[in-house]
Structure 1
Amino acid sequence: MSLRRVVINVITLLVILLSIELMVLIYICLIYLFKFSLGYFVGFVVVYFVLLMLLNDALIYMYVRGLGVRDGRLILIRLVSNDKYNGFTINMLYHDLVIAMYPEGFDKCAVDVVDIHEGYHARHKHTLVLNAILFIGLSMLVYYGRRGYPMLWTELPFLVTSLIVLTRTFELLADRAVHRRLGPKSLEGFRMVLKSLFGIDDPRRAPIRSRFTHPGKRDLVFLYGDVVGAYAPWEFPLLASFFAGFVTTGIYPVPPVDVYIKLASLIYIGVVIGLFLLTMLLGIIYRPIIRWFGEGLGDDSVIDLSMIDASIFTMGSAMSFVFYSIYHSWLYSNITAIAISFIFSLLVTWFALRNLRRALLTAVSITSIFIALDYLYYVMAPLIHVLYFR
Structure 2
Amino acid sequence: MIPIAKPIIGEEEREAVLRVLDSGMLAEGKVSRELEERFARYIGTKYATVTTNGTTALFTALDAMGIQPGDEVITTPFTFIASANTIAMLGAVPVFVDVDPDTYNIDPDLIEKAITEKTKAIMPVHIFGNPCDMKRIMEIAEDHDLLVLEDACQAHGATIDGKKVGSFGHAAAFSFYATKNMTTGEGGIVTSDDEELIEHAKMIKNHGRGKQGGYSHFRIGYNYRMMDLVSAIGLAQLERLPKIVETQQRNAAAYDKAFADVDELKPQAVISGAKSAYHVYAPRLFSDKISRDDMITFLREHDIGARSVYALPCHKQDTYLNIDKWRWASFVKYPDYSQLSLPVSEDIGQRHFQIPSHAQVTPADVERVIETVLKALGR
Q: TM-score, with normalisation over the residues of structure 1?
A: 0.24
Q: Which of 1 and 2 has higher RCO (CA within 8 Å, sep 6+)?
A: 2
Q: Which has the higher strand share?
A: 2
- Between structure 1 and structure 2, the one with the greater Rg is 1
Q: TM-score, with normalisation over the residues of structure 2?
A: 0.25
Q: Which has the higher helix share?
A: 1
